[in-house]
A and B are shown apart, each in its own frame.
Chain A
Amino acid sequence: MLTTIESRNAITLIQIQEERLDAHNSSDLKGQMLTLFEEGKNNMIVDLQGVRFVDSSGLGALVSGFKNASARNGNLKLCGLQPQVESMFELTRLHRVFEIFPDLAQALNSFQE
C-alpha cells in the first residue's frame, strides 16, 4: 500500500495514497500502523483525503489502529474523509467511535488542546 508517513510535533501522520482501502490492501495498512506502535508512536492521524472507496476490511484496519492506540494511551484520529467514505462511517456507526476532522490542520490542533 502506498502511504506517506511523517512526524509533526510527536504526532505521526499517515497519508494514504490509494484510491481504494479494501480487502486487498487493508492488511498492509494494519501492518504499517502496528510497526509504528511498536516504535512507540501512539498518537496518530490517518489522512483519508485521497481515498474514494473504503470497504469493511478498510474500516476494520482503522478500528484495529484505534484500539492499539487506545491500549497504549494514545489516540488515532481521522481527517479528510470524502463524502462517500464518510457515509460508510455513518452507515456502520463508526463515526461515533473515531474523532473525525475535516482537514489535517484541525486534526493536528486537536492534539494540542
Chain B
Amino acid sequence: MSESIFLDIKVPNETGYLRLLGKIGEYLAQSLESYPGDREELAYHINLVLTEAMANAIRHTVDSKPGETLHVTLHVKNRKLTIKVYDQGRGFTFCDLPEPPPSCLAEHGRGIFIIKTLMDRVSYRKYDNGHVLEMEKILY
C-alpha cells in the first residue's frame, strides 16, 4: 500500500455535519485501492467511528463553548489510518467506560465501545485547551 493521504477538516460542532464527516471517511476508505480487505465494510466502519467520535466531541464541547468548530484529521500512511478528533470541552472518563453486557438496556454508552471494537488502537488525552481522541486502524 503506497497511499499517503492527509485530510485536515474543520466543521461546526453541530450534529447536522455528522453525515458530511462520515461520508468523507467513507469516501476515503473506498479510495484505498490497495487495501486487501473488504473496502465497503471498512468504509462503513470509518463512517461509524467518525460519527461516534464527532457526536461524542459535540456532547462534551457544546456544554462548555457553543459555537466552536470541531477539528478532525485523517491520515493514511505506512498502511495505517490515523484519525484524530479534537474537542475543546471538559472531556470524559475514557478508561472507566465498560463494555455493555449482552442484554444491556442502557440508552447511552455504546459509542466508545463501538470505536474500541472497530479500531486497532484508541487513546484519549489532554491536548492544548481540550482533548484529542486518537484512533488507529491497520490497513492490511
Chain A residues engaging chain B, CB cutoff 8 angstroms: 20, 22-24, 53, 55-57, 59-61, 63-64, 66-67, 84, 88, 91-93, 96-97
Residue pairs across A and B with Cβ atoms less than 8 A apart, 30 shown, are: A22-B55, A23-B18, A23-B51, A23-B55, A23-B58, A53-B22, A53-B47, A53-B51, A55-B111, A56-B52, A56-B108, A56-B110, A56-B113, A56-B114, A57-B55, A60-B108, A60-B110, A61-B107, A63-B106, A63-B107, A67-B105, A88-B114, A91-B117, A92-B100, A92-B113, A93-B100, A93-B103, A96-B102, A96-B103, A97-B105
CA distance A109 to B43 in the complex (A): 36
Select one of A20, A61, A66, A84 contacting B105, CB under 8 A.
A66
CB distance from A65 to the nearest CB of B (A): 10
Number of A-B contacts (CB under 8 A): 71
Contacts of B104 in A (CB 8 A): 93, 97
Closest 7 CB pairs of A and B: A23-B55, A24-B15, A56-B110, A60-B107, A56-B111, A93-B102, A55-B51
CA distance A60 to B106 in the complex (A): 7
**B108-136, CB < 8 A from A:** 108-111, 113-114, 117
Minimal Cβ-Cβ distance residue in B for A23: B55
Minimal Cβ-Cβ distance residue in A for B55: A23
Interface of chain B, main secondary structure = helix
Contacts of A56 in B (CB 8 A): 52, 55, 108-111, 113-114
Please state if B114 and A92 are interface contacts (CB–CB under 8 Å). yes
Q: Does B48 contact A (CB under 8 A)?
A: yes
Q: Does B44 contact A (CB under 8 A)?
A: yes
Contacts of B37 in A (CB 8 A): none
Interface code B45-71, partner A: CB below 8 Å = 1, 0 otherwise? 001100110010010000000000000
Minimal Cβ-Cβ distance residue in A for B112: A56
Q: Does B98 contact A (CB under 8 A)?
A: no
Q: Does B10 contact A (CB under 8 A)?
A: no
Q: Does B36 contact A (CB under 8 A)?
A: no
Q: Other CB < 8 Å A-B pairs besides A91-B117, A97-B104, 10 of them?
A: A20-B19, A53-B51, A55-B52, A56-B109, A56-B113, A91-B114, A92-B110, A93-B100, A93-B102, A93-B103
Please state if A55 and B48 are interface contacts (CB–CB under 8 Å). yes
Contacts of B117 in A (CB 8 A): 91
